[in-house]
Amino acid sequence: MDKLIITCAISGAEVTKAQHDKIPYTIDEVVSESLKAYEAGASIIHLHVREDDGTPTQDKTRYQKTIEAIKNKIPDVIIQPSTGGAIGMTRNERLQPTELEIEMATLDCGSVNFGGDDVFINTENDIKYFASVMKKRQILPELECFDKGHVDSVLKLYKKGFIHEPLHFSFVLGVWGGMTGEERDFLFLKDSIPQNATYSVAGIGRFEFSLAELSIKHGGHVRVGLEDNLYLEKGVLAEDNAELVKKVVEIAKKYHREIATPEEARRILRTRM
């Protein structure tokens, strides 16, 4: 098996300090949480940025300042900006981080009902457009799939030449409106992608560590972080992002999976840098 790539989703766009005081808003806070996660074993930082008051933004300048500050402290870490943005944003608003010198970014591969009247819209044409922009800018898309239909969409667009190799999937399971995070769901998605593709799993809430263990066991990779889950175990808040990463490292030891450095992660994922 390849070494284990750990991605840390340090903040997301929705979780607030009222829920956990280590959710980073300011650039200094983002750098601090990124550094601790990296030192704990994360080779990829999944990045959303906020204004200092916690308001989520896709502003290119805010991303640039944040990325530069992280790279100043952790030169070799892989930074993976989100292009999810917020409901109602245009394609180009969401894509602002891809105008920077980055090697990876997320590409959401289908629409999801997020509860109530909220719909996270990613049409077929959205996916084609995002993929074309990332190909032109030599950015590896992490293909975020919340459901089996999203995987199928990727494979159809791959056959038609809109999405290109290398294929790296992210199964985001346990989101309201998407697939749940049971073992059957993970296995269904894992067995639906090409053998030469790579994948990572992000379990939301209570599914975080059970899915992390399944992915580690089957040769996949793992995403954890306060964006996805605030708890180390039931009723016990994690101290910070690093504590969640450390728990994955301990699980990996059970299966004799060594932890990938950023350079090793680049080789496994076949990024351009």
Q: 1: pLDDT confidence band, cut at 50, 70 and 90?
A: confident
Residue 1 lies in a domain: no
Q: Supply φ then ψ for residue 100, to 5 degrees.
A: -95, 175
Is residue 78 over pLDDT 80? yes
Is residue 184 over pLDDT 60? yes
Is residue 111 over pLDDT 60? yes
Distances (CA, A) of 120 to 181, 259, 265: 19, 33, 29
Concatenating the DSSP letter of every residue in 6-66 gives: EEEE---SS--TTT-TT---SHHHHHHHHHHHHHHT-SEEEE-EE-TTS-EE--HHHHHHH
Residue 17 lies in a domain: yes
Predicted local confidence at residue 114, as pLDDT: 85
Name the residue with tokens 């994922």: 269
Predicted local confidence at residue 272, as pLDDT: 67
Strand partners, 44: 7, 78
Strand partners, 262: none
Predicted local confidence at residue 229, as pLDDT: 98
Residue 187 lies in a domain: yes
Kindly report, residue by residue over 149-171, the tens digit of the pLDDT.
999 999 999 999 999 999 999 99
Is residue 208 over pLDDT 60? yes
Please choose, from the candidates 121, 128, 124, 83, the residue with its C-alpha nearest in 3D space to the C-alpha of residue 102. Answer: 83
Predicted local confidence at residue 86, as pLDDT: 79
Predicted local confidence at residue 167, as pLDDT: 98
| Range 167-190 average pLDDT | 97
What CATH number should be reported for the domain holding residue 145?
3.20.20.70
Percentage above 90 pLDDT, the chain:
94
Percentage above 70 pLDDT, the chain:
99
Other CB atoms within a 10 A radius of the CB of residue 57 amount to: 18
Q: Which structural domain, as residue segments, surrounds residue 154?
A: 6-269
Is residue 87 over pLDDT 80? no
Residue 257 lies in a domain: yes
| Range 121-147 average pLDDT | 97
- Characterize the bridge pairing of strands 112-113 and 119-120: antiparallel
Q: Which two tokens stand for residue 98?
A: 């891809």
| Range 69-79 average pLDDT | 98
Residue 197 lies in a domain: yes
Question: Which pTM was predicted?
Answer: 0.97
Contact yes or no for 25/13 (Cβ under 8 A): no
Residue 96 lies in a domain: yes
Predicted local confidence at residue 175, as pLDDT: 94
Report the chain's mean pLDDT, rounded to a whole number. 96
| Range 109-121 average pLDDT | 91
Residue 45 lies in a domain: yes
Predicted local confidence at residue 93, as pLDDT: 96
Q: Give the chain's domain count.
A: 1
Contact yes or no for 203/216 (Cβ under 8 A): no
Cα(251)–Cα(243) distance, rounded to whole angstroms? 13
| Range 130-145 average pLDDT | 97
Residue 54 lies in a domain: yes
Predicted local confidence at residue 266, as pLDDT: 98
